[in-house]
């Protein structure tokens, strides 16, 4: 199963790869990274149907925000689920993300046990 992580901070890739290395090594998860909302959409559009089944996106990014990306994904790729990640756990971002169709809302620093649990639930189709 392929997950797309979208964040303008490039060190996020190393962090996700490190924290999920066992699952990646076992072939449970495949991770792809995009460093902007536009790059994420390009990756999704490059395969029909998209290979990505789930997106974790930062909310605060230059250019297209994560919330704008969420709305575009929900319109163009309605079967792809999206969870939002924010350094700010304020209720406004949370409420807007959830009302726009986000599956979950995580705050930074990311609790990778919670992220892994979410990924495993998606993998097994339970929730």
Condensed to tens digits (0 to 9), the pLDDT of residues 52-89 reads: 999 999 999 999 999 999 999 999 999 999 999 998 87
- Beta partners for 18? none
Whole-model pTM: value is 0.94
Sheet strand arrangement including 52-58: 30-34, 2-6, 52-58, 81-86, 105-107
Q: Provide the pLDDT confidence category of residue 1 given band limits of 50, 70 and 90.
A: confident
Cα 107 to Cα 117: distance, rounded to the nearest angstrom: 15
What average pLDDT does this structure show over 84-97? Answer: 90
Quote the pLDDT of residue 127. 46
In this structure, what are the phi and psi dihedrals at residue 122, rounded to the nearest 5 degrees?
Answer: -65, -45
Residues in the chain, overall count: 127
């Amino acid at each position: 199963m392929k997950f797309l992580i979208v964040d303008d901070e490039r060190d996020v890739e190393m962090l996700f790869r490190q924290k999920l290395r066992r699952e990646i090594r076992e072939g449970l998860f495949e991770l792809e990274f995009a460093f902007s909302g536009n790059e994420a959409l390009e990756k999704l559009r490059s395969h029909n149907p998209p290979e990505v089944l789930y997106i974790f996106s930062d909310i605060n990014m230059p250019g297209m925000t994560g919330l704008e990306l969420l709305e575009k994904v929900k319109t163009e790729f309605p079967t792809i689920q999206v969870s939002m990640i924010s350094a700010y756990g304020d209720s406004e971002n949370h409420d807007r993300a959830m009302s726009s169709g986000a599956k979950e809302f995580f705050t930074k620093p990311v609790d990778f046990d919670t992220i892994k649990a979410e990924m495993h639930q998606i993998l097994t189709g339970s929730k």
